Amino acid sequence: MSVHSARVILASASPRRRELLRLVGIEHEVRPADIDESLLPGETPAAHAERLARAKAHAVAEHEPGAVVIAADTIVVVDGEVLGKPGDETAARAMLRRLSGRTHTVLTAIAVARESQTESAVESVDVTFRPLNDEEIGAYIATGEPMDKAGAYGIQGYGATIVERVNGDYFSVMGLGLRRLVELLERVGAPYRFEPRGTLTG
């Protein structure tokens, strides 16, 4: 059985993750997982992201026997501190000022659950912002894009213009590392295969 012949469920409401699965031809349903995402005492950022991804996968898989469930969690880390989604524009401004002209780390954990098996991994990517002035930060916030993103930016949108360098997997920064996903699908017995999209004409 390949992932293309399986019933695939994405345990996330993220439009970016949906877009990435469609990009590589993985048909899927969406069943967002509702879990407590609080950081546990003494938990490292990588362990936190991986625990949440696995918890999301389990929360959906236990109600969807036979399905391949894909879950992910993306966090931004700077100075050892996890930056979540900004609660308001003031928080977004503070985050963007903090990231301006600096390198931070994006951690994206992916978990794939099938039957009683769950495989997971974490990708770490270093992202460097160009220096931003207050006017630019205010204009970016006014687009609305930062408000539902960890670290108050989205690399696949307007935020692409403030990123100077990405050292690692770009798709992980978007929220779903495709190379790592393929590896995890193989491990749970639902390997990815290249599928023809149809005959091109013209």
Active site residues: 73
Q: How would you classify the pairing of strands 81-83 and 103-114? A: unpaired
From CA 182, how far away is CA 126, in angstroms rounded? Answer: 22
